[in-house]
Amino acid sequence: MNGHGISEYPAKTRKYGVFTLSFIIVIGMGFCYVDLFTDAGWKSKWYWLYTAVSVCGLSFFLTGAGRPETGKTFRIGLPDCLLAALVLYCLSRAAAGQFAEAFLMRCTAFLPIYCLAGRVVRNRSFEPLSAAVAASALLLALYGIAQYAGLLPAGKTFRVVGNFDNPAGYASMLALSVPFILYFALSGRRRMRYAVGVVCAIVVGAIVLSGSRTGILAVAATGLLYAVRRRSDFLRRTTAWKKIVLAATAVSVAAGLYFIKKESADGRLLIGRCTWEMIREKPLTGHGYRCFEAGYMLRQARYFERNPESGFAPLADNVKHPFNEFLLLTAEFGAVALLLTALWIASLIRAYRKNPNDESHTLATALSAAAALCCFSYPLSYPFTGSIVALAAGGLTAQSRRSCERFRARRASGILAALSSAALLGFTAKEMYYENRWHRVQKTASSDRPPLPEYERLYPFLDKNAYFLYNYAAELNDAGEADKSLEAATACEKMLNDYDVQMLKADAHKKRRDFRRAEACYLLASRMCPGRFMPLYELVNVYDSTNRPDRAQALAAEIADKPVKIPSGLVSAIKIKMRERVGD
C-alpha cells in the first residue's frame, strides 16, 4: 500500500506541475493586459507568451530537464519535414523584407511548443494540460458574461471582449478551448459529463454573447466532430430523411450567420476580390511578409477607380487583414507556401488516422476549429491560436514517427534551445522597453510641449513600426514640419498604406502649397474608402485654392447628395455647408 503510494507520488507531482505551468501560461494569453504599451490588449499577450517560452526554455536547460537523456533518440516524420520546409521557405522570403526579426520571434516562440507536444501526449500530461485550458476558458467566459451583465467594464467598441481588443480574439480563444473541455466527456464518467456540459454551456454562451459568427461556426464544427467520436456509427445508421434534416439545419445556421451581419459579410467579398488581385500579381512567391498592409488598399482603390458605381462602395473601409489566413499566406508567401501548408495538413490527417485515440481526436478537433477560424477571421493575430496549432500539430506528428528514420540526440540541441530562448528573451525585452517609452511619450504629450525630441530619439529603434512612423509624421505635421512629416509618412507608406496615411500626406502637401500632390493623395484616399466625406470636402478646398470653381461646385453637389453610411456631427456639418454652397 505504502509502496504503491510512493510510486504514484512522482506522477501526481508531475501532473500538478504540468497543470500549474500550463494554467499560468494559458491564463496570461487570455487575461494579460499591461497598460505600459501602445495597443496593450494585443501586445501584452504576445509579450507574455514570448517571455514565458523564453523563461521555460532557459529553466529546462539550466535544471537539466530539457537535456536529452543518454542514448535517447528522436524520430523525424513527414509532418516534421514539411513543416521545416515551410518555415525555412517563409523565413527566406521574410529575410528579404523589413520584418525578418519579427517573423523569427514568432517561429522561436511556437517551435518549442511543437517539439514538446509529443512528450505531453506520451507522458500522460495531456489530462492536466486540458484541465488548465478548460479552467482558463471558464474564467474567461465568466469575465465576458459579467461584461454583458454590466458587472465589469465593457470594451470600448464592443461590449463582450474579455481583455481583448476585439470579439474575434476573445471568441477564438474560447472556441479553441472547447475541444479540450470535451476531452473529459470522452471518459464515459457520468458526473464528469455533467460538469463538462455546464462548463461548455457557459463557454458557448459567452461566444454567442460576443457576437462572433466565426466563433459560433468553430464551436459548431467542434460539436459535430465530438458527436461523431461519441457515436462512430452515427452517420452510417442515420436514415436518409434525417441526413436531409441535418443538412438543411446546417444550411439554415450558415444562412443565419450570414444575415446577422449581412453588410460585413458582403464587405468580405470585396476584400477577397481585391486580395485575389494581389495574388495574381505574384502568384508563386507572394509579395513578402507583412506586405498586405502596404499593398491591399491600393488594389481596393484601383477597383473603385474602375468600378465607381459598385455596390461595394458604401461597405469599403480601411483593411489590414483579408479575414482569411490562407488568403493572407498566399498573398504574402505565394502558392508555394500554400502548397506546403496543404501537404502539411494532409500529413497531419494521416498521422491522426494511424492512432485515433481520445488525445489525438482532441488535437485533431482543435486543428479543425482553428482551420474554420482561419477561413473567416484572423485568429493567428493572437498568441493562443498559434500555441494551440503548434501543440495540436506537434502532438499528432508524434503519432507518425514510429516508422521513420531516427538520429541520436546531441547535447548541442539543448545548447541551441537555450541560445534561442535567450535570444527571444533579449528581443522581447528590447521591444518592450521601446514600446513602453513610446507609450509614455504619447501619454505625456500636450499641445504646449510637442513630443518631437522624444520621437526623434526613438526613431532609430522603432523605424520598422508603421504605427510609430504614422504618429511621428502626424506630430511633425501638427508642428508645421511638413517636409519632415512627408519623409516619415513615405517611410510608413512602405509598410502601411491606407486611408489615414494618404490623408496625412495630403494635408502635409497642402501646407507646402503643393496642391497637385495634395489632390492626388485626396483622390487616392477617396477611392480607398468611397464612403468617406472628408477627402471629397478637402478636394473642394483644393479646387478653390487652384481657381477651379466649376469642379469645386460639381463636387459640392455630389457631396450634398451623397448617402450617409454612419451619421456623425462632422458629416452633417459637411453636408450642410455643401448644400448651402450649391444653393448659392
pLDDT higher for 572 or 256? 572
- Residue 407, SS3 per DSSP: strand
In-domain check, residue 524: no
pLDDT score, position 9: 47
In-domain check, residue 45: no
Asked if pLDDT for residue 460 goes beyond 70, the answer is yes
Asked if pLDDT for residue 258 goes beyond 70, the answer is no
Contacts for 230 with CB less than 8 Å, ≥ 6 apart: 185, 186
Average of pLDDT values for 312-321? 90
Asked if pLDDT for residue 115 goes beyond 90, the answer is no
538 and 497, same structural domain? no
Average of pLDDT values for 42-71? 79
The answer to whether 477 touches 511, Cβ cutoff 8 Å, is yes
302 and 212, same structural domain? yes
540 and 475, same structural domain? no
pLDDT higher for 14 or 180? 180
Highest mean pLDDT among 391-395, 445-449, 560-564: 391-395
- Identify the residue whose cell numbers are 488548465: 132
In-domain check, residue 528: no
Asked if pLDDT for residue 130 goes beyond 90, the answer is yes
The answer to whether 505 touches 486, Cβ cutoff 8 Å, is yes
Angle among Cα 331, 333, 334 to the nearest 5 degrees reads 65
pLDDT higher for 542 or 8? 542
Asked if pLDDT for residue 108 goes beyond 60, the answer is yes
pLDDT score, position 451: 84
Q: Which of 409, 428, 462 is the last residue of a domain?
A: 409
Cα gap 71→73, rounded to integer Å? 6
Average of pLDDT values for 436-441? 92
**Grid coordinates belonging to 465:** 513600426
In-domain check, residue 121: yes
In-domain check, residue 312: yes
The H or E element that residue 75 is part of is strand 73-75
Query: Of the given ranges (225-234, 253-262, 385-394, 477-486), which has the lowest mean pLDDT?
Result: 253-262
- Identify the residue whose cell numbers are 512528450: 119
pLDDT score, position 268: 85
- Residue 406, SS3 per DSSP: strand
Under DSSP, the state recorded for 400 is: G
pLDDT score, position 16: 84
Burial (CB count <10 Å: 0-12, 13-18, 19+), residue 551: middle
pLDDT band at 298 (very low <50, low <70, confident <90, very high): very high
Asked if pLDDT for residue 243 goes beyond 80, the answer is no
187 and 136, same structural domain? yes
In this prediction, what percent of the chain has a pLDDT beyond 70?
A: 85
pLDDT score, position 403: 44
pLDDT score, position 1: 42
The H or E element that residue 408 is part of is strand 406-408
278 and 334, same structural domain? yes
pLDDT band at 57 (very low <50, low <70, confident <90, very high): confident
pLDDT tens per residue across span 158-189: 899 998 988 999 999 999 999 999 999 876 67
Asked if pLDDT for residue 128 goes beyond 60, the answer is yes
In-domain check, residue 48: no
Cα gap 18→9, rounded to integer Å? 14
The answer to whether 312 touches 265, Cβ cutoff 8 Å, is no
Average of pLDDT values for 382-403? 86
Cβ of 107: how many Cβ atoms within 10 Å?
16
Under DSSP, the state recorded for 470 is: H
Under DSSP, the state recorded for 103 is: H
CA 45 to chain centre: 12
Under DSSP, the state recorded for 512 is: T
215 and 78, same structural domain? yes
538 and 510, same structural domain? no
Query: Of the given ranges (225-229, 459-463, 513-517), which has the lowest mean pLDDT?
Result: 225-229
Asked if pLDDT for residue 428 goes beyond 60, the answer is yes
493 and 386, same structural domain? no
* Nearest in space to 332 (alpha carbons), one of 361, 294, 381: 294
Q: Which of 360, 388, 409 is the last residue of a domain?
A: 409
Amino acid at residue number 137: A
314 and 249, same structural domain? yes
pLDDT score, position 346: 94
Asked if pLDDT for residue 379 goes beyond 50, the answer is yes
Contacts for 145 with CB less than 8 Å, ≥ 6 apart: 160, 202, 205, 206, 209
pLDDT band at 411 (very low <50, low <70, confident <90, very high): low
274 and 196, same structural domain? yes
Q: Which of 489, 515, 541 is the last residue of a domain?
A: 515
pLDDT score, position 253: 58
Cα gap 234→243, rounded to integer Å? 10
Cα gap 53→107, rounded to integer Å? 11
446: left (phi over 0), alpha (psi -120 to 50) or beta: beta
CA 182 to chain centre: 25
> What is the rounded average pLDDT for all residues in the chain?
86
**Grid coordinates belonging to 394:** 506537434
Angle among Cα 514, 516, 518 to the nearest 5 degrees reads 70
Average of pLDDT values for 27-33? 94
547 and 511, same structural domain? no
The answer to whether 541 touches 509, Cβ cutoff 8 Å, is no
Cα gap 506→281, rounded to integer Å? 28
Asked if pLDDT for residue 239 goes beyond 70, the answer is no
Cα gap 114→396, rounded to integer Å? 10
Asked if pLDDT for residue 404 goes beyond 50, the answer is no
In-domain check, residue 57: no
Structural domain count of the chain: 3
162 and 279, same structural domain? yes
pLDDT score, position 199: 95
Domain that holds residue 488: 445-515
pLDDT band at 74 (very low <50, low <70, confident <90, very high): low
CATH at residue 467: 1.25.40
In-domain check, residue 295: yes
Angle among Cα 8, 22, 30 to the nearest 5 degrees reads 155
Cα gap 232→243, rounded to integer Å? 15
The answer to whether 218 touches 397, Cβ cutoff 8 Å, is no
Average of pLDDT values for 41-48? 93
Cα gap 379→233, rounded to integer Å? 33
Asked if pLDDT for residue 458 goes beyond 90, the answer is yes
Cα gap 72→62, rounded to integer Å? 19
pLDDT score, position 248: 63
